[in-house]
Amino acid sequence: MTNYWPWWAGAIGLALVTINHTLITDRSLGVSGAWDRVLHWRRERRLEQMEEEFTDDRALAEALAAATAEHFGTGTDASSVPQVPYGVSQPLEADAEPAAGESPAATSLRPAPLVTQAALLISVFLGGLIAAVTSGRFHLRYDMGPGFRNLVTADPTTMIAVLFVGGVLVGFGTRLAGGCSSGHGLSGCGRLRPVSIVATAVFFGTAVAVSFLLWKVI
């Protein structure tokens, strides 16, 4: 029989991970977003290099205007480009001023540096590996275990097909919802963001319904 942590210990552990990640990186925790950035590391690295090169907002606007004019053959100049740096949200009011004590970085929408995202994914893998090894339950498997075989299928080919389709659907749903259980469930709900609360309610409610269907009906 597998022994798990009590629910309250797991909740405390997840809360500490989320809080520490936010304090260290000044960004919300999100595994799916980190995975997407690491997969497209060349694109993300170019964006980071552009930000490093154009630290001045005016220089960035002029460079964007010049690139636009060169690509489209228009007479676009820097005055027609909004003076908003990449990754910074536009204020609702044109004359809105930052709140007292608020730094420009507080409104940055850019994610954490690429190396930080890669470190997060490596830490998730290493943490799971260490937990499995120290508990004595680590061993390589090529299926989902007896429960999956008894409930869904025991045929290896069908099992691979089912897992592949399920993985694609999970990835599609994550992109459609704009985040996964870590981004919405931990960070978003912890910050009381309405979209995260709705997204978390939907995917957890769906999981409960599917589990009930599999174990009680099928």
- Neighbour tally for 47: CB within 10 Å: 16
What does the buried/exposed string (b/e) look like for 149-163 if buried means 16 or more CB atoms within 10 Å of the residue's CB? eeeebeeeeebeeee
196, 179 Cβ separation under 8 angstroms = yes
Domains in the chain: boundaries? 1-139
What value does the mean pLDDT take over residues 196-213? 88
pLDDT in tens, 1-52: 556 778 888 889 888 988 888 888 777 788 888 888 888 888 878 877 777 7
pLDDT at 144 over 60: yes
The pLDDT, as a whole number, for residue 55 is 65
Q: What is the pLDDT of residue 81?
A: 47
pTM of the model: 0.59
Q: What is the pLDDT of residue 126?
A: 92
Q: Which of 183-192's residues contact partners 24+ apart within 8 Å by CB, and which partners? A: 183/28, 183/29, 183/30, 183/31, 183/32, 183/33, 186/14, 186/15, 186/17, 186/18, 186/29, 187/18, 187/22, 187/28, 187/29, 187/30, 188/28, 190/15, 190/18, 191/28
pLDDT 10s digits, 49-82: 777 766 666 776 777 788 788 777 765 444 544 4
